[in-house]
Structure 1
């Protein structure tokens, strides 16, 4: 674990920034908890969360259902999430249990649902269901690994974008482009992937996508897409599951159109430094979630300008922690 954590781009960047600013850098948690000291001030970075937002803000945005409640209450268009606690947490679960309420929520959304860990990250434990049996299986599976799950409606997403925000300003925005192949009318999806994997960069993303595929997606690997037809490998947009980052330039139409929503969402949850994920849907843009940790490992590794972009943002966050002017 130590080796993995100390190999992170964030770890390397913070060591560089500490040296540049004459700050002390201490590794207190096997590369996961970092202490930075400059003058009489000491600040911490835990995982990817900087010592900037409040503890309450961190708790809210870590909780998918709580953050959607807060955003909705403030009039921010977002994907609703409903939390359900493990029955073993009897003091907090209604006597009638969860199942009736789950079925009611499912019926409201025509059984087009996503079931996930309420405090999960990276797309892990995110399951799509379309009927009561699948819902029951998903709930049983997730309650074996967590005490709280969230249900949300499945939304057809045209594109997903991440906005990194620092004290009321968008520092970086990028799209998460899902892995895909384009059919030639004769080759299977698996054959098309084998050709694409000859590129080392694509090979890495393809491996991540294959590792995260659910059974329905795996069953389509032998299908033959028609010529010119795109075949998406994953319905999720996570970089850790094969999606690729595509930087949004500040002057682009998408950046300009979605920045106000990202800033409003960050403001509503008092997020000093973090990220806001926005999805484009048929009914307009919606906030999917906010994050108090700013993880840019895949961006730093997979994009030509990624490392420099990540370092520039972390530098501003570092300086903000110590109240240094830019």
Structure 2
């Protein structure tokens, strides 16, 4: 895109969000000291002003307890619920035995099964009404394999949106679309994935604006649920989803919608951040009517993210780039 700001040379091995902070710091004449390159850990100096920044959005502005509350989905749901903010209805568990006791309770419901303390959509399963005990158990075991506790909650229909809250403002909003390809009537899903992955913005390890779409067992199982496989040829114009989670880290697309969302949703995101005591965070909201006045029947807050990536807003798959790195430097008090 012509209106993007190029990243500095020599930092390509770092996460792209860290590259953004370095670019904007250098433009201000701020000295960059690499504390731990593999950990994307920086020290920024401007005269006598010194700040540590890890992974672009971890700073002194948020306390350790704030991080812990945001990281733990049970704790974050608690503070949101107590603040009167709409969250999905659900229950939490710490053992397979206790979870399976509620199999019948959830049987006729579409539900999300997710670990309490993971990021990037790891271990999240979406179980449909009527799913067998075997399938339900498999989702639970995957989630418990990644966290000592899990949450099972109502599935709310609609696109998922990431609100980037910095201080007292929502500075960017993007619609995160799960990994997908668009049929052309002649290419297999495998060929469509390969072609989409040729986009130079797609790479691996959070060092590029977008991540490559994988062709693992996870994607194959999602296709099988649709009666498809990697060799299927979708009809022209048909969108095929390869993931149920919308994370950009698993090949999803980021679509900037900052100017489309209803202002009250931005107020809700700010209130959610304040409920957790957060200065820098990402608020994930699911809503089927994001352009309209919020209705508790059609939206809920899914998560508060303690380490929101910047690149999905700076380098969206489509839409207007939002330059957010400078706003973090402003919050830290740099000139």
1:91 aligned partner: none
Equivalent residues in 2 for 1:1-326, closer than 5 Å: 6-32=13-39, 33-47=41-55, 48-80=57-89, 82-85=91-94, 99-104=97-102, 107-108=105-106, 110=108, 112-129=110-127, 130-156=131-157, 158-183=158-183, 188-190=188-190, 192-193=192-193, 207-211=212-216, 213-219=218-224, 220-221=228-229, 222-223=231-232, 225=234, 228-250=237-259, 252=260, 254-256=261-263, 258-281=265-288, 283-301=297-315, 303=317, 309=322, 312-322=323-333, 324=334
CA distance in 2, matches of 1:50, 1:285: 30
Say if 1:195 and 1:140 are closer, same or farther in 2 by CA, change over 3 A.
closer
Check 1:211–1:26 CA distance in 2 against 1; reply closer, same or farther (3 A cut).
Answer: farther
- Aligned partners of 1:106 and 1:113 also within 8 Å: no
- Deviations 1:90-138 (Å, cap 9, x if unpaired)? xxxxxxxx62355327614635333222111111222233343223233
State the alpha-carbon separation in 1 of the partners of residues 17 and 134 from structure 2. 42
1:257, distance to aligned residue in structure 2 (A): 5.0
**SS where residue 265 of structure 1 aligns?**
helix
**Inter-partner Cα distance in structure 1 for 2:104 and 2:11:** 40
Gaps of 5+ in 1: 88-97
Residue in 2 that maps onto 1:93: none
Tell me the TM-score normalized by structure 1: 0.77
Structure 1's 161 and 11: CA in aligned 2 closer, same or farther, altered over 3 A? same
CA contact (8 A) 2:256 2:318 kept: no
Conserved? CA contact 2:88–2:155, under 8 Å? no
Change (3 A) 1:287 1:185: same
Distance 2:143 2:256 in 1: 34
Residues 100 and 137, structure 2, Cα contact 8 Å, conserved in 1: no
CA RMSD of aligned residues (A): 3.4
In structure 2, list runs of 5 or more residues that go unmatched: 1-9, 205-209, 290-296
Cα shift at 1:170: 0.9
For the structure 1 residues 196 and 7, does the alpha-carbon distance in structure 2 shift closer, same or farther, using more than 3 Å as the test?
closer
**Where does residue 92 of structure 1 map in the other structure?**
none
Q: Deviations 1:58-82 (Å, cap 9, x if unpaired)?
A: 1111111211121112211122454
